[in-house]
Homo-oligomer: A and B are copies of this chain.
Amino acid sequence: MKIIDGKLISTQLKEEIAKKVKHIVEKGKRPPHLAVIIVGEDGGSQVYVNNKIKACQLVGIKSTHIELPVETTENELLKRVYDLNNNTELDGFIVQLPLPKHINEQKIIEAISPEKDVDGFTPINIGKMVIGLDAYVPATPFGITELLRRYKIETAGKKVVVLGRSNIVGRPISILMSQKSDIGNATVTVCHSKTPDLMKITNQADILIAAIGVPEFVTADMVKKGVVIIDVGTTRVKSDQTKSGWKLKGDVKFDEVAEKAGLITPVPGGVGPMTIASLLYNTLLAYKKKQL
């Protein structure tokens, strides 16, 4: 068994991005610029946003952090989105989710200009990805494809089983891996809560992607020897072994599955660290597209 080291790969990816940004700035041009809007004071969201801003600083991407009070109305937020759409000095921006309940998330997402949609959540961006056109791949699926690429994991002709059909992970990764591409050409099966005989299906997988958010759901008897495991789950569970009183658990029972797996992503330190690197990558991409 070998660990797929997401921390290492995300560091490499960030270094590559930093190098490219440096190159841009050395030529006398402005650096890529990302804005992050956060509404309200959800603790988890604030941590995520701060990490994104820090990562920007690390690689030399300019960032703008827009904090709006929880009372912000849908119209006020829409106006902010339009302002950012029209800001020619800005390459991409994201609206941190979840939003307060009085705001229609989908309406806000659909207001984002597709050119600046570096989260890849707008319908037009998803549609382009689905039909194989140039598109921003959302952070988690992009992170998974980068791990597969950089560990040179063969996907063509392989059986991939995806657990979970969410719009931000299961669905897009299942589509990407069945397309004609360097991390594609796999035979992909999407499983979900209504799938019976799950064990029979997961046992056929050459690559298993678990994205259901149920801690330690995947056990050793569910996979075949040598399988590649990508664990997207990150659920906080109570723990008396840590100072904080909790620890992160993946969707895979790591210890026992790792013994059978050929390659496996740990939690934490697997897919997680890749997501912010993916956002930086998309921001650089948005910058480059604007220069064309």
- A residues apposed to B, CB below 8 Å: 106, 122-128, 130-133, 156-157, 165, 167, 171, 175, 178-179, 185-192, 194-196, 201
Q: Nearest B residue to A188 by beta-carbon distance?
A: B190
This chain: copies in complex: 2
Contact B190 A178 (CB under 8 A): yes
Q: Which residues of B contact A194 (CB under 8 A)?
A: 156-157, 185-187
A201 to B201, CA, bound (A): 11
Q: Please name 30 pairs of A and B residues whose Cβ atoms are closer than 8 Å in the assembled complex, sorted by A.
A: A123-B128, A123-B131, A123-B133, A124-B124, A124-B127, A126-B126, A126-B127, A127-B127, A127-B128, A127-B130, A130-B130, A130-B171, A130-B175, A131-B167, A131-B171, A156-B194, A157-B195, A157-B196, A165-B178, A165-B179, A171-B175, A175-B175, A178-B190, A178-B192, A185-B194, A186-B194, A187-B191, A187-B192, A187-B201, A189-B189
Closest to A109 in B: B131
Chain B residue, CB-CB nearest to A129: B127
In the complex, A18→B235 CA distance in Å?
A: 53
CA distance A53 to B12 in the complex (A): 58
| Residues of chain B with a CB closer than 8 A to A124's CB | 123-124, 127
- Complex alpha-carbon distance, A113 and B179, angstroms: 27
Q: How far is the CA of A226 from the CA of B171 in the complex (A)?
A: 29
Question: Which residues from B are CB-within-8-Å of A130?
Answer: 123, 126-127, 130, 167, 171, 175
With contacts A156-B194, A178-B192, A194-B185 taken as known, whether A167 is within 8 angstroms of B132 at the C-beta atoms is yes
Which 7 A/B pairs are nearest by Cβ-Cβ distance? A123-B127, A127-B127, A126-B127, A185-B194, A189-B189, A124-B124, A187-B195
* Contact residues in B for A133 (Cβ distance below 8 Å): 106, 123
Bound Cα distance from A165 to B165, whole angstroms: 18
Chain B residues lying within 8 Å of A127, measured Cβ to Cβ, are: 122-128, 130
Q: Select the residue from A179, A186, A187 with max chain B CB neighbours within 10 A.
A: A187
A167–B201 Cα distance when bound, in Å, is 26
Contact between B187 and A187, CB atoms less than 8 A apart: no
Give the distance to chain B from A120, nearest Cβ to Cβ, in Å.
Answer: 10
